[in-house]
């Protein structure tokens, strides 16, 4: 997909309220195979960083380790100077870590508004029930309506989440994240399966997440033209290791990156 995306705004345009993330010497071995190899990555608070690489490079695995779905063999995950390497998935969420997946993860039999309202209730200190705490639910409903307006789904608030288009489901996921207290968000291929007509809207939604919440965003995306117009820095993964981390322009000019993608040279990195 080739889609024209406006350049990323200057770094100073976004309030830096998000949390910094550090990955220190992260390694993962499964059955003798090296899946992640000494991964080092530092993401500044409030920045938007892309992660690219060929299929099987370890991008989603890295996200799984950061979000607590997989435990590393070595190294640390540090969120806002707090070591969360051994923390549970719920504990990481309470610490401010949010995530989307390659396939939309919503409640299909709830309405669009109810999906966001549940997230808003928990964010406001309530329960994940649509029936309890009526005052808090009123506040959550107001918050949910506001977030749906930001992503352009207000007109769909009464539709069942399972019935809306894939592109709108992606927008709904962003509205859910906007309703939470996430200070850092992992976006795993947000454009996957999305029609070209929906891409500009999703791009604006991602920018709105940064603008509204000042989130730190780490994003895996195969559509390089889209990603390069969004992010401030890019990490390139190859066989479980990060082989380059720089601005989009420098990444595109990097001969090591070109070699890894074209398969015409050696990176000096062993296959995982």
Whether 40 shows a pLDDT value over 90: the answer reads: yes
Instruction: Identify the band that residue 192 occupies on the pLDDT scale cut at 50, 70 and 90.
Output: confident
User: Edge-to-edge strand order for the sheet containing 82-83?
Assistant: 33-43, 21-30, 74-79, 82-83
pLDDT at residue 48, rounded to an integer: 95
Evaluate whether the domain defined by 18-262 bears CATH number 3.40.50.620.
no
**Where does the pLDDT of residue 170 fall: very low under 50, low under 70, confident under 90, or very high at 90 and above?**
confident
Q: Which residue, 44, 49, 46, 42, is CA-closest to 18?
A: 46
How sure is the predictor about 71, in pLDDT bands with cuts at 50, 70 and 90? very high
Which helix (H) or strand (E) segment is 178 a member of? Answer: helix 166-178
Residue 36 has pLDDT above 90, yes or no: yes
Mean pLDDT of 61-78: 97
Taking Cα atoms as reference points, which of 152, 157, 150, 126 lies closest to residue 140?
126
pLDDT at 17 > cutoff 70: no
pLDDT of amino acid 271: 33
Return the pLDDT at 11: 36
Mean pLDDT across 217-231 = 91
Q: What per-residue confidence (pLDDT) applies to 268?
A: 40
Q: Residue written as tokens 């001969």?
A: 255
Write down the residue that tokens 């890019």 correspond to: 234
Does pLDDT of 272 surpass 80?
A: no
Rounded Cα distance, 186 and 50, in Å: 10
Min mean pLDDT across 46-55, 68-77, 170-179 is at 170-179
Please check whether residue 172 is in contact with residue 106, taking contact to mean a CB–CB distance below 8 angstroms.
yes
Confidence at 87, pLDDT banded by 50, 70, 90:
very high
Residues 184, 98 contacting (CB under 8 angstroms): yes
Q: What is the pLDDT of residue 7?
A: 44
Q: pLDDT tens, 241-258?
A: 999 999 999 999 999 898
Residue of 75 and 196 predicted with greater confidence: 75
3 state SS for 75-124: EEEEECCEECCCCCHHHHHHCCEEEECCCCCCCCCCEHHHHHHHHHHHHC
The pLDDT score that the predictor gives to residue 4 is 44
């Amino acid at each position: 997909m080739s889609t024209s995306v406006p350049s990323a705004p200057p770094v100073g345009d976004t309030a830096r309220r998000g949390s910094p993330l550090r990955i220190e010497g992260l390694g993962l071995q499964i059955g003798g195979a090296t899946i992640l190899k000494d991964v080092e990555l530092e993401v500044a608070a409030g920045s938007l960083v892309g992660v690219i690489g060929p299929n099987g490079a370890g991008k989603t695995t890295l996200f799984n380790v950061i979000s607590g779905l997989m435990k590393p063999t070595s190294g640390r995950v540090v969120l806002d100077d707090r070591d969360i390497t051994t923390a549970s998935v719920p504990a990481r969420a309470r610490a401010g870590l949010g995530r989307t997946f390659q396939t939309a993860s919503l409640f299909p039999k709830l309405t669009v508004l109810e999906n966001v309202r549940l997230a808003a209730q928990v964010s406001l200190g309530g329960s994940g029930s649509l029936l309890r705490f009526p005052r808090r639910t009123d506040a959550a409903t107001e918050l949910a309506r506001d977030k749906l307006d930001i992503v352009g789904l207000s007109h769909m608030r009464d539709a069942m989440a399972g019935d809306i288009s894939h592109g709108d489901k992606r927008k709904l996921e962003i509205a859910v994240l906007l309703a939470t207290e996430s200070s850092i968000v992992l976006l795993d291929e947000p454009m996957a399966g999305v029609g070209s007509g929906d891409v500009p809207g999703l791009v604006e939604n991602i920018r709105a997440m940064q603008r509204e919440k000042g989130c730190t965003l780490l994003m895996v995306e195969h559509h390089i033209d889209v990603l390069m117009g969004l992010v401030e820095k890019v990490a390139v993964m190859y066989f479980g290791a990060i082989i380059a981390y720089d601005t989009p322009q420098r990444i595109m000019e990097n001969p090591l990156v070109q070699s890894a993608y074209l398969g015409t040279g050696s990176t000096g990195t062993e296959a995982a």
